[in-house]
Structure 1
């Protein structure tokens, strides 16, 4: 379980499928209201408090993005407490310490990896070229190179192999294609892996 603070009121947690399996949770369980998922969420909030000083009191918006072969990206945003609701309700809230959750669940068929160094990206391209017929799209976003591949065309075994190689050179990214299109810059629109290999031999 990896976590990082995105802003004062927002954190991102990356759960691998191993993290879920260790806790006896299947990927599909994240969509259901079961005690194990509540326990996992409490554990994540405790760890977020210890590691990042993130206090999960008050209303929380939780976005869960399931990524093929990578795991789950969980983004937690803390809302503002409503202090005008009278003293009694404030005391009740403090006593109960129950999370008020607004949950959004999404699934994506895209595998997105970020690279800090262009050299790492080139090394990856040389290893990946024989594995892929469609080499994805390359974006520049927030001083990183973001490679986006479509997992839909790959079978489970191939997907696992591709993700294993990607993990050696880059790190899983939670940014969506819509955000990359709007705020990033498209560097290579299609077959990025093949194009990188051809241009930088």
Structure 2
């Protein structure tokens, strides 16, 4: 895979269909199977992060061009205002959920961008955080021990991942922002979804991860 760092907020990479197949995906899967296309995308983004030092923080804008022999993908971190609001994004961004689409021949440019990184769905707010040692969760668990949040802990490819899910019935937007800010003081967010962690990772705590951390390590 060829990677080009455009600027501080934009990176472009090219992957051939041969490379796609060597990674265990078929052309049909990346065009017509959303789960597989997202799995491939995040696998590529992990590689981009390692080689180009492109931290995946905040919502991402994604543009895909289907070339004759592969895919050219441009990823831009959305600009945020001081209060955390996205700017320079289409008004109906929440309805634009397409990451890959189109035919597998010719060149296609897409103006639809998907805020695929940690953007909450209409009913729940879900986040994934990466850490190296379980003990890193202790100060978070202590500060959020009275907060009703669904958490689980997973191990995947040498790292630990904390999954946190907030319910909009119990939490306002401001509550979620404050709680996530607490976690973000100690951990970085990760693009890995809970589905990938459950399928490929090792489950440490299926539920009440923060409470269990306090019980066993506090």
TM-score, with length taken from structure 2: 0.51
Contact 2:136/2:186 (8 A) holds in 1: yes
Residue of 116, 121, 133 corresponding to 2:148 = 133
Residue of 62, 70, 79 corresponding to 1:19 = 79
How far off is 1:139 after superposition? 0.8
TM-score, with length taken from structure 1: 0.55
How far off is 1:159 after superposition? 0.6
What residue in structure 1 maps to residue 163 of structure 2? 148
1:1-201 residue pairs with structure 2 within 5 A? Answer: 6-7=46-47, 13-15=56-58, 19-21=79-81, 24-25=87-88, 28-30=91-93, 63=99, 100-101=109-110, 105=114, 107-108=119-120, 109-130=125-146, 132-152=147-167, 153-201=170-218
How far off is 1:137 after superposition? 0.8
| Structure 2: gaps of 5 or more residues | 1-7, 12-44, 60-76
Give, in whole Å, the separation in 1 of the partners of 2:113 and 2:79: 20
More helix by share: 1
Give, in whole Å, the separation in 2 of the partners of 1:148 and 1:173: 10
Give, in whole Å, the separation in 2 of the partners of 1:177 and 1:27: 27
How far off is 1:187 after superposition? 0.6
Root-mean-square deviation (Å)? 3.9
How far off is 1:149 after superposition? 1.2
Give, in whole Å, the separation in 1 of the partners of 2:163 and 2:139: 16
Contact 2:150/2:166 (8 A) holds in 1: no
More strand by share: 1
